[in-house]
Structures are given as structure tokens and as C-alpha cells.
Structure 1
Amino acid sequence: MTKRQKIVRITLIAGVLILVMLLVLASCGGTKDDAKPRKPVASSGPETQLNVPDAYNTRRGWEIEDVSPQYAVASATGLVAYLARVDDNRYQLRTQYTETGKSGWSGQAWRPLAPVDRYPRLLSVTKGDKQYFVTWSYGRLGEYALASADSLVSLDVYDATTGEQRRVEVPWTDAPTVTGTGPGILISDGKAVSAVVDPSTGEVSRTAPGSLGFPKGCPNCKKLTEVRGVTASGLLVSGAKEFWVRGGWFSRKVAPKGTEPTSGVPASMSAEHVLAKWQKKKGAKDAATHEMWVVHALDTGKMVAQVRCRKPAINPGAEPQLVSSPDGRYLIAGRLAFDLDEKKAFCFEESDGTRPLTLTSVTDTGVAYGATSARNVTDALSGGGDPVQVSLTTGEPEPLPLNVRLPSGDANGVGLFRWTDGGDRPHLIAYLRRDEG
């Protein structure tokens, strides 16, 4: 072998070795995938093709898997937030742009107080023109505790635009209820004990059960007293009958025409409204068979829309829960639907109260989805009952094919669908609405 041939051979061998080393480094380099979505975006659309209403294009959208069953949406920022498991002990809040499927900001990984085999809870809250995502857990203190108490509620509050993260810990004795339908985060024991966290500052305020501003001449207000929500004016509180905003309006003073003024019971809240059930006036021909469901403005208590529904239809406090369209014009709650601009309302059931329609989501175009004869929203989203869609312009439900999966939400022109695959991995799938191009 000549000297020139030896040089060429050595050069070729060296080149092969360098290529092998580069391949090894490429396969081993970087950090652990930290439970990143395996399919965050696909140029040809989501890999999973579900049977969905025709209004959604299953070829356009995105899909992520191994994520929390809960998600939260901040429509103003165009982001949807979800929780991903980072390792055996820690979780991370991540965001996705609903329209494009591109990853947004991510929070710091943390270990919740709740058992590590259970995802922390996730909700969204709006104060003024700012939106926040909130994760929370409840548990006993241990080596990772940051405060001295027997147990506490630990919250991480994120600015939905920037991802700025704030930790707030509130000592709490018993299992809490945490909600974010008002301009503050409400922690309650399901009765009269409560605390409110300001999402913009982290400040915690408490109101003693004896200082809830009980209206004069309302004996029922001091029975079964419960803090129900937060308004810009103060706490929304209810008794066995009747309800009020502490320091603000009283339900007896805003009772809808044709109802018993002392019969109001709140069911649920949205950011700007409260849904309440009222008994019809004694002596009314249908008082024994029907009741009124009314949407009130939270700031004044004034009636916005109302509908008559058959008894005994709904149990306040458990169902129905108010869900708003992205633009806030439409509200749905179980078998109820409201067009706030037109002051129209619907109760979807047969004349004898059978085959009620359980609604799961509503778009800002006024199309709602749901299923008749489903036990609840969870059952409808899991395929229970007979799927339908209904235009809130006409109020006429239209049947959908029985194998259609219903959207659990709609935001920024995208329908959001939850699905669990054969490996028991939860997926969040977004399909673009066809009217969005």
C-alpha cells in the first residue's frame, strides 16, 4: 500500500468515527423530555381522527398526550393551559396556542401537596382585563412545606400572558372547594368559612362567618349559610333561601316578576352572572309543576334572561354549572341556554320533563353541543345519551350521528376534545372550526 493510499484510508476511517460520534451525541444529547407533548403539532393535522360534528375539520389542528384531564383557556391570550408530569414527584404547567398548536410559555416544575399519583387542580380566573391560570393542591405539611400549619391550600398563580408565577399558601383545616369564577380565587369549606386570594397581588382576605352582611328581616339567610362566589362588590352568599352580595344587592329586591320574592336559590356563577332558581307565585296555574331559572347580572342583581322549566329538574349547587361562550354572549347550564344579547332563554326537555338535553359547550356563533338522556356533562362527553347540536338562534336541536364525540370546549375558533387511548393515556385534541377557514 502506498503512502498516499494510507493517508486516504486513515482519513476515511477518521471521518466515519466522527460521524458515529455525532450520531451518538445526537441520540444522547439534551435533557430528559420532561413529559413534553409527543405530538404538539402536526403539519398535516392531528394524528387522531375522531368522529366529531361537521363544523370541525379533523385535518386541521393539533394534539398532545399524557396531559392532565383538566385544561383551562384564556381566550384573550389565545392560550390553553394544561399540566404535564415532569417526573414521579413533580408537575409543570404548560401552554399551547389554540389556533396554531405552537407551544407557549411553561411554568417552573413543582411538587404538589396532593398525592403524586393525582394531577393538581387547574382553573382560570379573570380580574379586570387580566387573565390568570391557577393550579392548586391541598394536603398535610411535610419536608417540602413553606408555611407552618397542620395543612394548607397551595396555589400557583400564573399571569396568562407572561407566565409570571406566584406561590400563595393558605392555612386550611378541612378539604376545600376552590373556584375562580369571580375576580378573586375563592377558597371555602362549602359553608360559611372562606378566604379570597387576589390573583394580581397574592393577598389573602378572610371574612368571618358572622360578618357576611346578613340582610335584615331574612331568617332563612342565617340557615345553611354558604359563601358561593366572589364579585367585584363583595362575596356572593346564600342561605336556605334567598341570597345576597355582601355590601351590595339582595335577591328579594330583584326577584323576577311572577316569582315568590323569598324563594331564590343560586345554582352557579360565571365571571359576570349568577344563575338562580325561583319558585313561581303561589296560585299560578303551573306553580306546582314548573319553576323559573334566571340569569342575574352580578354587579346589580338585575335579571338578564329567564326561562320556565319543569320540576323537579335540577339540583342547585350540583348542577347545572354555567359555561360561557368565548365572547360571553351565550351561557349554557345543563338543559338551559341563554342568549344574553337577545335576552332569550331555552329549557331543552320534553313537555313532560323527560329526555332533557345536557349541553357540554357553546361557540361564539351560538351553536351549542350536547346529548339527550345523558346523566351529566361527563357522561355526555364520554358518549352517553344521543348527541345533538342546537342553534341558539332557532332553539331547535338537530340530532348528530350516534358515534359523534362532543367538544368539551370551544375557544379562538378551535374545538377542544378530550380522548383517552387504549394505553389509558389522556389526549387533548384541537380541531379548527370550518368557519375559521
Structure 2
Amino acid sequence: MRQKIVRLVLVGGVLVLAMLLLLATCGSGEKSSDKPKKRAKASAAPVTQLTVPSVFATEHGWELIGTSPDYALSRTTGSLAYLVRVSDTKYQLRTIDSETGEAGWHGESWRPPSPQHFPRLLPVTVDDHEYFVTWSYGKVGENALTPADTIVSLDVYDVQDGSRRRIEVPWNSVPTVTTTGPGILISDGRTNSAVVDPVTGRVSEITAPALKYPKGCKTCKQLTEVRGLTKKGLLVSGAKEFWVQGGWFSRNVAPKGTDRLSGIPTSVVPGLVLAKWQLAKGAKRAATHDLWTVQDLETGKPLASVECSKPAIKPGQYPQLVAAPSGNFLVAGPLAFDLLTKRGFCFEGADGTKPLTLASVNDEGIAYGAANARNAADVLAGGGTPVAVAIRSGTTGALPSNQRIPGAVTSDGVGLFRWTDEKDRSHLIGYPSAN
């Protein structure tokens, strides 16, 4: 397997020989053009049949055992990436075809700076080229004594062939790592951040003075926080407004009928931001409702909005935006958005009580969630009463109480389900569409 490693490269004759032996028996991170792909299912045993919505065929599919909590999907190749523990201190990234379960390329095993926990896993796209990124935070060596000895360790894999680049970024506080734009954003949750180019490995550090605070914004330097990355620069929020470095400013793109100085970004996914706005003073429901809007991350343009009562979401944690593979449908807590028709929905009672919590959505606009659940994690763990929602019509249907909800549905209609067995092993199962 080809590797590009920043700061540290270990290549020797013994390693090359070992890799040749591994390639002869298990396949490599590079795809060979003169040999057919080895057709191996993700699990040799029959797939466990869970109780799930009837649109999924539980008698077919694939199953992974003992995988990482995270997985990542490629929209161009259909590959699903996941991590496995190969020893007490080492991990390996592997891939399968998300539709068939056929094994794909796998990376070399490596030791992250925090080997007691699975590294995190994210996808990132740069100029329509996709990468899988694993990251971990911890000490450089066993004898590290100061914050300067801690790093964010990144391994960036080309989705096509598994070639790897390692990047190590010195970091002296607990990091937040996201991939909402054309790069990897490392943030301290406040004003300091670094952007890593997955292609070159170049690291650009950005401090508070470089955030380009908008003129006339009195609250932009209050509770300032870096939220995401766009092609133009960082998405940043203050106490009441938000902006993109050298790009757009929230008060200039505020949705109609809102207080232009009240925007708060609550969740960011590639290309999109979900923002909460107060209704304009004097509006009929200004005291009881907020306007939730999905906006284009590059321009700030509002794409779809819906009013939702304040008690349904606040106080509490803001809902996380989840997109269908196509990006045309999105859900976040009780909210759902159809970007094709530019409509938004808030699934709650007439008095703002008993809101639904939606956790996943497919390319047909069918969302899955539960009533009376605390959040999306609670839904996927079996909390609440399961429901399915047809976003285009806004209709809701109850599901049997014992059914599990998919954590995601791929572009091919494969539902991804999690469960934990009696040995406390995590299982990830892919059931194809029954149609």
C-alpha cells in the first residue's frame, strides 16, 4: 500500500516483505487491475435478523462484529469504512461495499496516541475527491509531561485505493475535529483552530484576530466559537450573530420575518448549516416560536424554513442535522426539511408538546425516529415509540414498539443497524431494501 506520512516515515525491507506476504493472503490497500476483487462477505455466519421496518429484508445483508462506534460512507464508490481493534494498542481501517458486503481495501494497523479508545472516523471531500479520516488525541510519547507534548494524530485515506497520509498536529487542549468543508477543521471549541489540507497535509493555524469580525457587530466577540469550514473560510458565531471569514454575514442573509440580529448556528453538515432565528418583534407567535432555517454554507442563502415552538427544543441540547445521502432531505430532532420543494416541517403537538425525535432519513424522504425520546442517540438505543415520517407529505405513522430504527440508509437503500450482543460486542448490520 502506498503511504505518505508527515513527520514520520517507517519503511524497511522487513516491513516490505511482511506486506508482500499480507497482500498474498488478504488483499491490499491498492486495487489491482489484473486480478478480480475477492468476493468475501463481511460475515461468514448468517446475518442476525433483528426486528426492523418491513421495507428492509432481514433475510439478506451483511454483518460486522466488534467494529468502531463510527463508520463513514463514500457517496461516489459506495464503500463503507470502519475500524477494528487488531491488538490491545493497534487499530486498522477496513472497507466493504455497503450494498453487497464485499470486502474492499484495508489499511495497515497502527497505534494511535490514545490506544485505549477507538479513533474517530470521518469522511471529507476536496474537489469531488473523497477521503476517510481517522483521528485521535493524546501524548506523543509515554514520558510526555507538558501540553506541548500532545497531538492530534490524523490518518487520511484515499477512498479509491486506500493510500494513506499521516499528519500530526501539536494541540494543547481537548480538540473538536470536523469535516464540514474542503478540509479537516481542528478547534478548541472557542476561537483557536487549525485547518488541515487532506491532499497536501499542510496545516494552517488560525487565531482569534484572523477571524475577521464583521463591522458593526457588537456581539460577535462575545461567546465566539468556530463552527465549521467553507471554501472561503471558517464559519464563526458570536452571542447572537454568525459569519464566514471574508464571506457572508448572517444579518445580511436573514430569512424573512425574523429579527436580523438573532441568528444562531446550531448544527453544520457539509454544504449546509441549520440556524435558529427569533421571529420579528410584533410577529403573532414571536413569544412562543422560533424559525429554524437550513442555509447554504457557501452563500448563506436560506433554503427551507419552519416555525417550531420554543419548548420543543429549548432548553436542552440543540438537535444535530442529519442529511440523506443525496442531501435533498434533512432531519434534526422534531425538524424535517425537503430542499427539493423548499419546505420545512416541525413534528410536535399543537401545543408544542410531545415532539418527535428524528434520527435518520433516506433519499425517498422517509425519516425514522421516535416519540417520547430524549435525543437521536436515545432513539437509536431503543428509546421512545418508533415512528416513520414521509417528509414530502408531512404524514407520520407509528411502528411496532419492538422495531429498531436505522442509524442511516445508504443511497442504495441499505439500512444500517446497530446492536450489542451478550458479550458486549458491537454489531453493525446492513439490510437491503425489500423492494
Q: TM-score range by the shorter chain?
A: 0.7 to 0.9
Matched, 1:331 2:330: yes
How far residue 39 of structure 1 moved from its aligned partner, in angstroms, is 6.9
- In structure 1, the residue matched to 2:52 is 52
Matched, 1:127 2:129: no
Are the aligned partners of 2:41 and 2:102 in contact in 1 as well (CA < 8 Å)? no
How far residue 285 of structure 1 moved from its aligned partner, in angstroms, is 1.7
- In structure 1, the residue matched to 2:93 is 93
- In structure 1, the residue matched to 2:250 is 251
- In structure 2, the residue matched to 1:265 is 264
4+ runs deviating over 6 angstroms: none
- In structure 2, the residue matched to 1:109 is 109
Amino acid at match of 2:158: D
- In structure 2, the residue matched to 1:78 is 78
- In structure 2, the residue matched to 1:371 is 370
**Alignment partners' CA distance in 1, 2:120 and 2:316:** 20
- In structure 2, the residue matched to 1:205 is 204
- In structure 2, the residue matched to 1:164 is 163
**Alignment partners' CA distance in 1, 2:428 and 2:180:** 23
Provide Cα deviations, 1:266-322, integer angstroms capped at 9, x if missing partner. 011111111100000111121100000001111111110000000133359942111
**Alignment partners' CA distance in 2, 1:177 and 1:151:** 14
- Which runs of structure 2 are paired with 1:176-215 in the superposition (5 Å)? 176-215=175-214
Secondary structure of the corresponding residue to residue 94 of structure 1? strand
**TM-score, normalised with respect to structure 1:** 0.87
Q: Name the count of aligned residue pairs.
A: 396
Matched, 1:40 2:23: no
How far residue 128 of structure 1 moved from its aligned partner, in angstroms, is 2.1
- In structure 1, the residue matched to 2:401 is 402
- Which runs of structure 2 are paired with 1:343-362 in the superposition (5 Å)? 343-362=342-361
**Alignment partners' CA distance in 1, 2:99 and 2:359:** 21
How far residue 31 of structure 1 moved from its aligned partner, in angstroms, is 8.6
Provide Cα deviations, 1:52-97, integer angstroms capped at 9, x if missing partner. 0011000121001011121111121111111001111100000110
How far residue 143 of structure 1 moved from its aligned partner, in angstroms, is 5.4
> Over aligned residues, Cα RMSD in angstroms?
2.0
Q: Which moved more, 1:136-145 or 1:242-251?
A: 136-145
State, as a whole percentage, how many aligned pairs show the same letter. Answer: 59
Q: Structure 1 residues 408, 434: CA separation in 2 closer, same or farther (over 3 Å shift)? A: same
Amino acid at match of 1:53: P
**Alignment partners' CA distance in 2, 1:161 and 1:202:** 18
Larger radius of gyration between Structure 1 and Structure 2:
1
How far residue 47 of structure 1 moved from its aligned partner, in angstroms, is 2.3
Secondary structure of the corresponding residue to residue 152 of structure 1? strand
Are the aligned partners of 1:120 and 1:136 in contact in 2 as well (CA < 8 Å)? yes
How far residue 41 of structure 1 moved from its aligned partner, in angstroms, is 4.0
Secondary structure of the corresponding residue to residue 251 of structure 2? helix
**Alignment partners' CA distance in 2, 1:315 and 1:131:** 36
**Alignment partners' CA distance in 2, 1:317 and 1:276:** 16
**TM-score, normalised with respect to structure 2:** 0.88
How far residue 240 of structure 1 moved from its aligned partner, in angstroms, is 0.4
How far residue 341 of structure 1 moved from its aligned partner, in angstroms, is 1.0
**Alignment partners' CA distance in 1, 2:226 and 2:317:** 15
Amino acid at match of 1:40: A
**Alignment partners' CA distance in 2, 1:136 and 1:169:** 10
Are the aligned partners of 1:134 and 1:158 in contact in 2 as well (CA < 8 Å)? yes
**Alignment partners' CA distance in 2, 1:395 and 1:131:** 34
Are the aligned partners of 1:265 and 1:316 in contact in 2 as well (CA < 8 Å)? no
**Alignment partners' CA distance in 2, 1:259 and 1:157:** 41
Which ranges in structure 1 are unaligned for 5 or more consecutive residues?
1-29, 33-37
